[in-house]
Amino acid sequence: FDPISSVFELKMARGHKVLKLRAQAKKVTLKYETTAPTVGAVGKYYPADDIVQKKGPTPVRNAPKVRASIVPGTVLILLAGRFRGKRVVCLKKLDSGLLLVSGPYSINGVPLRRVNQKYVIATSTSVSLDGVDVSKISDAMFKREAAAEKDGEEALFAAGAAAKPTVTSPERKAAQTAVDAKLKANIDKVQLLGAYMAAKFTLSKSDKPHMMKF
| Distance, CA of 80 to chain centre | 14
What is residue 70's predicted lDDT score, i.e. its pLDDT?
Answer: 95
The model scores a pTM over 0.75: no
What is residue 38's predicted lDDT score, i.e. its pLDDT?
Answer: 64
φ, ψ at 76 (rounded to 5°)? -115, 155
CA atoms of 43 and 196, how far apart (whole Å)? 72
Low-confidence ranges of the chain (pLDDT < 50): none
Computed over every residue of the chain, the mean pLDDT equals 84
Q: List the alpha helices (DSSP H) in 92-150.
A: 105-108
What is residue 197's predicted lDDT score, i.e. its pLDDT?
Answer: 95
What is the number of other CB atoms lying within 10 angstroms of the CB of residue 69? 14
What is residue 102's predicted lDDT score, i.e. its pLDDT?
Answer: 94
What is residue 209's predicted lDDT score, i.e. its pLDDT?
Answer: 83
